[in-house]
């Protein structure tokens, strides 16, 4: 089966497994795991932030950030398809006790005028706006890249009102590669940034949260509250460190593979792709297709390609390190065949 369901499915390669075996470890809750410390220092430097924290997952990194940035009763402005809104089990309300203020988006970008209006004025009736949330690349929009102009406008709106900005950069390196910007230049628009090691970078587990030293000191406590105080975590930090050093450049392959698949879908099927395919995600809509999203998933699986039904009327195809160029070719032939029979 050619697995195009997600970039989370990637398995650690031989080198990662060797590094796991050899990792120097200590008790990370005491701050004594040298491999975790090295990963955190390197990640912070790469993103141009003062400090970093190794978390069990992207969700935990996002939630720890929320717990530091906000107080219960505040409001967080985000787009209405943000991962934190759609996929994190309402943890934002359950743990941080804040309210989500969702705005419509176009390719992952909220309308700046609407964003400005959504910031709460001082009034005894209103919650305070505690945080503005960005997602870069934007998953449900189809791995789309936020423009520099947009991020500049969000930043200046936030600064005008003294509101922090968090970036869910689960796929930050896909974003910076596609935009031709350094990771630090990309991260500069946000006070805190979370990125995943276990997506396109291919590490088996973990994410990184970055920010100021004070922010990360506080986030470390929140991570402990969330059950994320890990002990000899060097064994999982070691493949993460390797992924960060050696696997960022290869994301271009995933982008090229997604572009090749998208070209076939556009030309040979009745699926509609309504976004520019900029990175490794394709969201293909089935509203003009003779097959429903579920029928596409079943038909593709029967031919040997695994994709997922995404929204009621879309499928998502995600290229990743475990899918070779030859397999991408095969997947293209499968989609052509399905297109011919639809």
Q: Does 144 bind ligand TLP (CB under 6 A)?
A: no
SS3 of residue 274 by DSSP: coil
108 versus 120: smaller Cβ distance to ligand TLP: 108
Distances (CA, A) of 264 to 309, 321, 328: 19, 20, 11
* Binding-site string for ligand TLP from residue 206 to residue 245, where x marks contact by CB under 6 A and - marks none: -x--------------------------------------
Q: Does 280 bind ligand TLP (CB under 6 A)?
A: no
Of 70, 69, 72, 102, nearest to 84 by C-alpha is: 102
Backbone dihedral angles phi then psi of residue 316, each to the nearest 5 degrees: -115, 135
Quote helix, strand, coil % in the chain, to nearest 5: 45, 20, 35
Sheet with 314-318, side-by-side order of all strands: 272-273, 281-285, 314-318, 308-309
Q: Does 87 bind ligand TLP (CB under 6 A)?
A: yes
Burial of 180 (0-12, 13-18, 19+ CB in 10 A): exposed
Closest approach of Cβ 51 to ligand TLP, in Å?
20
Closest approach of Cβ 196 to ligand TLP, in Å?
5
Please identify, among the stretches 19-27, 43-51, 57-65, 260-268, the one whose residues bind ligand TLP according to the rule CB under 6 A. Answer: 57-65
11 versus 213: smaller Cβ distance to ligand TLP: 11
Q: Does 6 bind ligand TLP (CB under 6 A)?
A: yes
Distances (CA, A) of 260 to 238, 272, 290, 291: 33, 15, 23, 22
Q: Does 168 bind ligand TLP (CB under 6 A)?
A: yes
DSSP per position, 79-108: ETT-HHHHTSTTHHHHTS--EEEEE-EETT
SS3 of residue 214 by DSSP: helix
Residues 113-142 that bind ligand TLP (CB under 6 A): 135, 139
Burial of 48 (0-12, 13-18, 19+ CB in 10 A): middle
Closest approach of Cβ 206 to ligand TLP, in Å?
8
Please identify, among the stretches 53-61, 111-119, 255-263, 325-333, the one whose residues bind ligand TLP according to the rule CB under 6 A. Answer: 53-61
Please identify, among the stretches 27-35, 52-60, 68-76, 93-101, the one whose residues bind ligand TLP according to the rule CB under 6 A. Answer: 52-60
120 versus 136: smaller Cβ distance to ligand TLP: 136
Site residue total, ligand TLP (CB under 6 A): 13
Q: Candidates 10, 35, 57, 320: give the one binding ligand TLP (CB under 6 A).
A: 57
Q: In angstroms, rounded to a whole number, what is the distance separating the alpha carbons of residues 191 and 314?
A: 33
Residues comprising the chain, all counted: 342
Closest approach of Cβ 10 to ligand TLP, in Å?
11
Site for ligand TLP, rule CB under 6 A: 6, 8, 57-59, 83, 87, 135, 139, 168, 170, 196, 207
């Amino acid at each position: 089966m050619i697995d195009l369901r997600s970039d989370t499915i990637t398995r650690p390669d031989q080198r990662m497994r060797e590094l796991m075996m050899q990792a120097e470890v200590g008790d990370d809750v005491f701050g004594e795991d040298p491999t975790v410390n090295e990963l955190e220092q390197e990640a912070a430097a790469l993103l141009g932030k003062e400090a970093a924290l190794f978390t069990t997952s992207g969700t935990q990194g996002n939630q720890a950030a929320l717990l530091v940035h906000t107080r219960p009763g505040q409001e967080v402005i985000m787009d209405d398809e943000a991962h934190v809104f759609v996929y994190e089990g309402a943890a934002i309300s359950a743990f941080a006790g804040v309210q989500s203020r969702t705005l419509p988006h176009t390719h992952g970008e909220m309308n700046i005028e609407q964003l400005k209006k959504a910031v709460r004025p001082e009034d005894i009736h209103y919650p305070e706006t505690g945080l503005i949330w960005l997602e870069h690349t934007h998953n449900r929009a189809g791995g789309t890249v936020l423009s520099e102009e947009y991020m500049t406008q969000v930043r200046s709106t936030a600064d005008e009102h003294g509101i922090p900005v968090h970036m869910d950069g689960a796929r930050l390196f896909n974003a910076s590669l596609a935009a031709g910007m350094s990771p630090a230049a990309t991260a500069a628009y946000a006070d805190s940034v979370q990125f995943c090691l276990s997506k396109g970078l291919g590490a088996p587990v973990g994410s990184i949260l970055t920010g100021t030293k004070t922010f990360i000191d506080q986030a470390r406590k929140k991570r402990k509250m969330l059950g994320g105080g890990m002990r000899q975590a060097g064994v999982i930090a070691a493949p993460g460190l390797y992924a960060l050093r050696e696997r960022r450049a290869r994301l271009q392959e995933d982008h090229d593979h997604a572009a090749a698949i998208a070209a076939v879908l556009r030309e040979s099927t009745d699926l509609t792709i309504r976004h520019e395919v900029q990175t490794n995600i394709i969201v293909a809509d089935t509203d003009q297709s003779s097959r429903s999203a579920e029928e596409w998933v079943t038909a593709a699986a029967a031919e040997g390609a695994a994709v997922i039904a995404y929204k009621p009327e879309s499928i998502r195809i995600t290229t990743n390190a475990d899918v070779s160029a030859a397999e991408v070719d095969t997947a293209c032939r499968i989609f052509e065949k399905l297109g011919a029979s639809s």
